[in-house]
Chains A and B, each alone.
Chain A
Amino acid sequence: MQTAVAFSKVSRHFGQVRAVDGVDLEIGEGEFFAMLGPSGSGKTTCLRLIAGFEQPTFGHIEIFGETAEGVPPYRRNVNTVFQDYALFPHLSVADNVAYGPMIRGVPRAARMKAAEEALELVQLPGYGARQPGQLSGGQRQRVALARALVNKPKVLLLDEPLGALDLKLREQMQEELKTLQRSLGITFVFVTHDQGEALSMADRVAVFNHGRIMQVGAPEEIYRAPRSRFVADFVGSSNILPPEAVERFAGRKAWASLRPESIRLAATGGRAATVLGHSYLGAATRLTVDMDGQRLTVLLPAGADVPANGTRIEIEWKASDLHVMEDDT
């Protein structure tokens, strides 16, 4: 597999702020790659470094083996779907989509045909004559996608593409984007702060914090084996156990992560705990329990008996579910 994008020791400083701080990264061709992190973690700056809107302060970026630093955005065969879509308000939907071909000098008839094909691809056939202002948020997003895809980019960058959509539409678009990426085979790099979105869509996820990559890996790997407290806490929710407690359970003095859904109520032989509170989530019920001064969150599947607040219960988990973390950050 060829490397689509490679960062080596890339930093981007804005004055005193190190937005991106020594990032090493390799994204393979045809990969669906997610950059996940809280706001200000450097993930969007990384995306902008690939697009060419930002230049690295230090380090080296290659796109398909070619040096990218110093190359302006308009000379990169990389296209972006912007967070605010950035559709041109003075152009019709078709002219928006045909903007790239128009700039390249494709004759009008040919580029209109290409635009219509791209609109069909994003399931907006026949919308070409409309103005961007007449479209809903979801439709604008599709137009932005078509406008990028019509250029057949080597890498497609998506900046929080689904952030502005409501839940139902977001789930639908997640599926569509995945299908589209598989069928086109284009490398997708998308930025999100929504860990659920990153886990469900991406082949691989990079978790960012403070301008650095905390962990890169397949979604299951990130979720099951977070390397640091930050990743354990940011990706899904987790019970982070301090080294003193972990020493008792696992014999090693290090931080560990225990996912709420891997804790079960035990009939006998478990560890004693007291129920502090519970909230009903529909598909599950979340209990807050106290185990020897250690507060834990427990996720009970729907249908299970929910003990009342204040009850003494016993809990257990498989030893393999207690994940001891390598880093102590």
Chain B
Amino acid sequence: MTSPSHAILPGRGGMFGTLSDALWRNPRLLLFVMLAPPLLWLGVIYLGSLFALLAQSFFSIDEFSGLIRYEWTLKTYAELLRPSNLDIIARTVIMAVSVTLASAVIAFPIAYFAARYARGKWKALFYLGAMLPLWSSYLVKIYAWKLILAKEGILNWIFAKLHLTALLEAWLALPVIGGNSLSVSYTGTFLVFVYVWLPYMILPTQAALERVPESMLEASSDLGASPAQTFRHVLLPLALPGIIAGSIFTFSLTLGDYIIPQIIGSSRLFIGQAVYAHQGTAGNIPLAAAFTVVPIVIMGFYLWMAKRQGAFDAL
């Protein structure tokens, strides 16, 4: 074995040797090589189709022939603002807001436990518990919920065993949120939405709470704050960026979903279903595109608000 006698070793030579030397000398070149394919993909395929969609919404459909007229017009948007369509938008936004608020409320204690108390095995169990629902098929979960919420389902059975059927029926008798059974009511849609999107709220909230040092809470208590005051003045403001990050998921996913309200809920449409119906059976691509623009605009506004709240400062 010969030990190297020079302080500077000779180049390895060959194509790969030359290439790695060149990339070492030009870090920008490496960056370019790594970023060009995904940027190309994002730029052309993703943004391109998005702009194509946006363009579609400024065309209109010929009411007699059902063909698309390729002329710039705001006619489709006028159609979008019809009361029946506004109903769909309002229904979807209200659902998204309710689902987000409920997820935040349910996720907080779980995330708090995981961040503050769970260690080792318990922490692993928490991650498993939070992520497990994400691993099984979305459709399977929704059909499972349909069975749970059905009139002959387990939930009704439990209510009956607890002699609380009257309570459930009183709830279902309520206008708008009620219905024939849970599986065909907004309440059912809401429950399934919350279940399906909850992990997306728990994980960012837990990450934010994890970054709050124990001494911060002790300091608040030390300065005379009761647990409720500590929650209000220290814990909630510090966890807010995480909750907002989570709400971006729950809010946008609810805005865009078209499968859950189709399987569980009343027959009244949500934005996703409207898009699906207009681009499919109705063949009204411009209106479908205009409908798609609605969640994009709402999310743009929401993200802007979230940015002002500092939700992305920690990224």
Q: Do A and B come from one complex?
A: yes
Q: Which residues of A contact B (CB under 8 A)?
A: 51-53, 72-74, 78-80, 82-84, 86-90, 99-100, 102-104, 147-148, 151
Known A82-B215, A86-B218: A104·B237 in contact at CB below 8 Å: no
Determine the distance from Cα of A87 to Cα of B223 in the docked complex, in whole angstroms: 12
Determine the distance from Cα of A78 to Cα of B224 in the docked complex, in whole angstroms: 9
Q: Is the CB of A74 within 8 A of B226?
A: yes
Chain B's interface: helix, strand, loop or mixed, by majority?
A: helix
Q: Is the CB of B223 within 8 A of A103?
A: yes
Q: Which residues of B contact A89 (CB under 8 A)?
A: 238
Q: B71 near A: Cβ within 8 Å?
A: no
Q: Which residues of A contact B30 (CB under 8 A)?
A: none
Q: Which residues of A contact B237 (CB under 8 A)?
A: 90
Q: Which residues of B contact A80 (CB under 8 A)?
A: 218-219, 222
CB distance from A292 to the nearest CB of B (A): 51
Q: Is the CB of B234 within 8 A of A74?
A: no
Q: Which residues of A contact B225 (CB under 8 A)?
A: 74, 99, 103
A-B contact count (CB 8 A): 62
Checking B213, B229, B233 against A86 with a beta-carbon cut-off of 8 angstroms, the contacting residue is: B213
Checking B218, B224, B233, B234 against A82 with a beta-carbon cut-off of 8 angstroms, the contacting residue is: B218
Q: Is the CB of B238 within 8 A of A90?
A: yes
Q: Which residues of B contact A51 (CB under 8 A)?
A: 218, 222
Q: Which residues of B contact A88 (CB under 8 A)?
A: 216, 219-220, 234, 238
Q: Is the CB of B216 within 8 A of A86?
A: yes
List 20 A-B residue pairs with CB atoms under 8 Å apart, sorted by A's residue number. A51-B218, A51-B222, A52-B221, A53-B218, A53-B222, A73-B218, A74-B222, A74-B224, A79-B223, A80-B222, A82-B218, A84-B215, A87-B219, A88-B234, A89-B238, A99-B220, A100-B223, A103-B224, A147-B223, A151-B223
Q: Is the CB of B215 within 8 A of A151?
A: no
Determine the distance from Cα of A151 to Cα of B223 in the docked complex, in whole angstroms: 8
Q: Which residues of A contact B221 (CB under 8 A)?
A: 52-53, 72-74
Q: Which residues of A contact B224 (CB under 8 A)?
A: 74, 100, 103-104, 151
CB distance from B314 to the nearest CB of A (A): 11
Q: Which residues of B contact A72 (CB under 8 A)?
A: 221
Determine the distance from Cα of A151 to Cα of B237 in the docked complex, in whole angstroms: 23
Determine the distance from Cα of A273 to Cα of B238 in the docked complex, in whole angstroms: 65
CB distance from B292 to the nearest CB of A (A): 37
Known A84-B213, A89-B238, A90-B238: A103·B229 in contact at CB below 8 Å: yes
Determine the distance from Cα of A88 to Cα of B233 in the docked complex, in whole angstroms: 10
Q: Which residues of B contact A84 (CB under 8 A)?
A: 213, 215
8 pairs of A and B residues whose beta carbons are closest in the complex? A86-B219, A86-B215, A100-B223, A73-B221, A103-B224, A103-B225, A90-B237, A80-B222
